[in-house]
Amino acid sequence: MSAHVTDKPLLTVEHLTMRFGGLVAIDDVSFQALDREITAIIGPNGAGKTTVFNCLTGFYKPTVGRLTLHHPSKGDFLLERMEGFDIPQHARVARTFQNIRLFPAMSVLENLIVAQHNDLMRASGYTFYGLIGLKGYKRAEERAVDRARHWLDRIGLTKQADWNAGNLSYGDQRRLEIARAMCTQPVLLCLDEPAAGLNPRESADLNKLLLAIREDEGIGVLLIEHHMDVVMGISDHIVVLDYGRKISDGTPEFVRNDTAVIRAYLGEEEEEELPPEVAKDLKPN
Amino acid sequence: MAVLAEAKPVAGRLDPALLLKEAGAIAGIVFALTIALVGLRTKDVPGGLDIVTRFSDVFAATIVAFCGRLGLILLREGRALPVLLVSLPFALALMALLLYVQLWAPHAGLGHYLPFDSTVVNWCLAIFALILAGRAAWSLWHAASTKSAKEREQTMDRVAVGVQKAATLLGPLLLAFAIVLPFLPFADRRILDIAILVATYIMLGWGLNIVVGLAGLLDLGYVAFYAVGAYSYALLATHFGVSFWICLPFAGIMAAFAGILLGFPVLRLRGDYLAIVTLGFGEMVRIILLNWYKFTNGPDGISGIPRPSFFGLPFTANPPEGTQSFHDFFGLEYAPIDRIIFLYYLILALGLVTNLFTLRIRKLPVGRAWEALREDETACRSLGINPRNTKLTAFAIGAMFGGFGGSFFATRQGFISPESFTFIESAIILAVVVLGGMGSQIGVVFAAILLIGLPEFFRELQQYRMLAFGAAMVTIMIWRPSGLLAHREPTIRLFPKEAARASRK
């Protein structure tokens, strides 16, 4: 990714609304994410965080709203109008999943090669050149293996490259999924709870990896996370959702002290709202 | 397993009442099942139907079930010795008696001592007794008499890996054998016909393997493409006199189009739903062939389909004026078997093309995308793989090979009718793929030999063939649900040398 600096934000979400029948999962949410920044989306369970991801990556078509991705070299893409499988290929938005979705019966290396499908497909002349064994495809495949190797080195799974992905430990699978997303050469990487189920040490490694991706690749990272140490430790910018609405948006320090956020997470101080007779009953204790 | 582990320490004293109760329960079930099904039989007699009773068989079955269960319980409780002492002599005695009665004294009164009337059932009984004896001997040999299912699966996996590694050696050997087969002394017309049939199913199995094994799309209507290929060739050849070699690619293309036609409506379906729609598609094609009388000649079928020629040289004794036939051209004596040998090589070549194509395409992006699609469609979408195109190519390419197989079928038979394209054909091809291990090329070969070759050899046992077929499927599903040789070798390795070293160990 070039170190192209533009004044336009990488991702602009405007008035995003998603309704499922009568249920409003996301209600008029707007925010921005910049490249070379980690933007975290946090909020209690059911706040609509994953739905935002699903809209961004084409799994859902938003009911209302505009999602503009500003690609540094290709220009603007309106994600809400694109087919799901075109978004990673053209707009270069990659994602991981809350429940890991690797290809378990395929090897670790194959997982990373499949991620480069579209480039390889073109190089293999949509299979025809590949079938007759032209040199061009061989070279493209070698390049793909090099890229996979690069990411295996970075996540420390080089030795396990020929294992079945399903045989890796949970933490390794999480990292492999991130590497697989990175092999699609994204400009925006969307991570859905990457630290879920990791032990503190793995979680710290993950932080390092994400910071390194931000520094070295110069891409934007969008992060859904419940682990506050991860979120507060590495985010440059935090968006807080609650019941599908954005309730806060700013730097970690700002969000940490925002009363709306505290209320959403810890609840309001409800003592005064108790009916007088209940309060009276509670008092002797 | 936990129950077994707890039962072991008290193996010292067995409660005979419990033992008898369990074995008796099984015997009771067998009795209840067989009393009406086996015990009573209607028979045509002059003046109507009569009921014949065969209660001796029912009692024999009940006693066999009781003893067999007792043996299994004793095995489970770690008392293998008595089981071995009873079952082995029984099996050997029964086999000796059977052989004696069958081979030397078919009319002697000894036959009355056999437990069942039917020879096949007696043989089954002998084999079961032998298996029981084998298990007992095995558990005497090894202290641990029971293996957990997981351990068994791992052992089988190791075997599969071993066979797959051997397959790199075995494959060329099998191929060499297949190539010289027509010239071996025992290769008569019958053997070659069976070989052609087996090779046809191997080819179809490899074709279906693309759809089911690689792309993971359960297709129960594969015979539809076989039919499209057969009718494409038959109609083109009989109406326009086009030669086999020109028709072959055309039949493949027609079948591929049929594959795309089927693919479009089922793009969003998975698993069971997909299976049902493909099943319906297979039936639709057959019913269209049956009822579109003007086009397909309906149930009468198409006859007089031209036989294939050796690059224009026909295999006939008396070629028409002004043309040469195969034996004239090469100065050979005319032999009708030449045509069979040619057909054999034809299907062998078609099968090899299918195999090479599959092996090759597995290592190309589209092949990897098929496998990824089988693993997780959602993840594929998130990586920019177009599931629609990927599925359609799998359907089209799988169907294309079905079409090739179909035109071969048409030229071999010389006559086709919708009768040949019933659901059972799809089921057999699918069984070949599933039994062999989804996605495994060599597994398909073994499964086709097992499922098609052996039953053909044992044609005399007509009525029991399907029974054995069913039994084989059930056994496989219990012992190895993922198929005989389901080990998957990665399409690309980062450390190929290490893998080679590991396999040499």
| B140/B134 Cα distance (integer angstroms) | 10
When mean pLDDT is compared across A152-166, A168-182, A190-204, B6-20, the lowest value belongs to B6-20
Q: Are residues A159 and A285 in the same domain?
A: no
Residue carrying the six token digits 């994953």:
A50
* CATH number of the domain residue A207 falls in: 3.40.50.300
Beta bridge partners of A238: A40, A250
The token pair that represents B198 in the structure block:
């087996």
Strand-pair category, A245-250 with A237-242: antiparallel
- Residue A2 pLDDT exceeds 50: no
Most confident of A118-122, A250-254, B42-46: A250-254
Instruction: Lowest mean pLDDT of A2-6, A170-174, B323-327, B494-498, name the range.
Output: A2-6
Q: Quick one: CA dihedral B94, B100, B106, B108, positive or negative?
A: negative
Nearest alpha carbon to residue A8 among A68, A56, A92: A68
State how far the alpha carbon of B67 is from the alpha carbons of A51, A153, B475, in Å.
Answer: 62, 62, 21
State residue B111's pLDDT score.
66
Half-sphere exposure of B376 (CA within 13 A, CB side): 23
The pLDDT of residue B505 is above 50: no
pLDDT at A3: 46
Say which DSSP state B318 is in: S
Judgement on whether residues A191 and A135 belong to the same structural domain of the protein: no
CATH of domain B152-502: 1.10.3470
* Per-residue pLDDT tens digits for A14-25: 888 888 888 888
CA A79 to chain B, closest CA, distance in angstroms equals: 13
Residues A47 and A160 in one domain: no
Amino acid letter at B33? Answer: L
Do A247 and A176 share a structural domain? no
Does B193 or B16 have the greater pLDDT score?
A: B193
Q: Is A173 inside any structural domain?
A: yes
What's the CA gap between B209 and B203, in Å, rounded? Answer: 10
- Shortest CA distance to B262 belongs to which of B292, B206, B217, B196? B217
- On whether both A88 and A189 belong to a single domain, the answer is yes
Question: Which of the listed residues A161, A183, A205 is the one where a domain comes to its end?
Answer: A183
Q: Tell me the pLDDT band of B10, cut-offs 50, 70 and 90.
A: very low
- Alpha-carbon Rg for chain A in angstroms: 21
Range of the domain at A129: 104-183
- At residue A285, does pLDDT exceed 70? no
Contacts of A269 (CB under 8 A, 6+ apart): none
B255 band by pLDDT with thresholds 50, 70 and 90: very high
Domain-embedded: residue A97? no
Residue A31 lies in a domain: yes
Q: Looking at beta carbons, which residues of chain B come within 8 Å of A97?
A: 378-379, 382
- pLDDT (0 to 100) of residue B1: 37
DSSP characters over B20-37: HHHHHHHHHHHHHHHHHH
Given A130, A158, A183, the domain boundary residue is A183
Quick one: A205 and A279 in the same domain? yes
Closest partner residue to B378 among A89, A101, A184, by Cβ? A101
Res. B321: pLDDT tops 50: yes
- CB–CB of B129/B91 below 8 Å? yes
Summary count for chain A: helices (H), strands (E): 12, 10
Per domain, the residue ranges of chain B are 2-146, 152-502
**What value does the mean pLDDT of chain B take?**
81
Q: Do both A144 and A87 map to the same domain?
A: no
- One domain for residues A190 and A63: yes
Query: In this predicted structure, what is the pLDDT of residue B305?
Result: 84
377-436 of B, contacting A, C-beta below 8 A: 378-387, 393
Tokens of B28: 């009771």
The DSSP line for A178-205 is HHHHHHT--SEEEEESTTTT--HHHHHH
Q: What share of chain B is helix, strand, coil (3-state, %, to 5)?
A: 75, 5, 20
Q: Is the ipTM of this complex over 0.95?
A: no
**For residues B50-64, average pLDDT:** 84
B416: three-class secondary structure by DSSP: strand
Q: Which of A143-147, B46-50, B289-293 has the lowest mean pLDDT?
A: B46-50
Q: Which residues of chain A make contact with B498, given a CB cutoff of 8 A?
A: 162
Would you say residue B484 has pLDDT above 90? no
* Out of A58, A106, A149, closest to residue B371 by CB: A106
Cβ of A101 and B385 within 8 Å? no
Report chain A's mean pLDDT, rounded to a whole number: 84
pLDDT for residue A24: 86
Do A136 and A161 lie in a common domain?
yes
Q: Does B384 contact A180 at a Cβ distance shorter than 8 Å? A: no
Alpha helices in A98-199 (DSSP H): 108-114, 117-123, 128-132, 135-155, 170-183
Chain A nearest C-alpha distance from B487 (Å)? 10
Q: Indicate the pLDDT class of residue B319, thresholds 50, 70 and 90.
A: low
pLDDT digits (tens, 9 = 90+) for B98-130: 887 777 766 666 666 777 777 777 888 888 888
- End position of a domain, from candidates A158, A183, A208: A183
Is A99 inside a domain boundary? Answer: no
Cβ–Cβ gap A162/B498 under 8 Å: yes
Cα A241 off chain centre by: 16
Q: Which of B4, B136, B26 is nearest to B82 (CA)?
A: B136
**Do A44 and A154 have their domain in common?**
no
Mean pLDDT lowest among A25-39, B198-212, B354-368, B444-458: B444-458
Unique residue bearing structure tokens 């378990």? A104
Whether residue A196 is found in the same domain as residue A116: no
* CA–CA min distance A128, chain B (Å): 10
Give the whole-angstrom CA distance, residue B94 versus residue B242.
60
Q: Collect all residues with Cβ–Cβ distance below 8 Å to A230 and sequence separation of at least 6.
A: A195, A203, A206, A207, A223
Whether residue A83 is found in the same domain as residue A155: no
Number of folded domains in chain A? 2
Reported as a single tens digit per residue, the pLDDT across A91-105 is 888 999 988 899 998
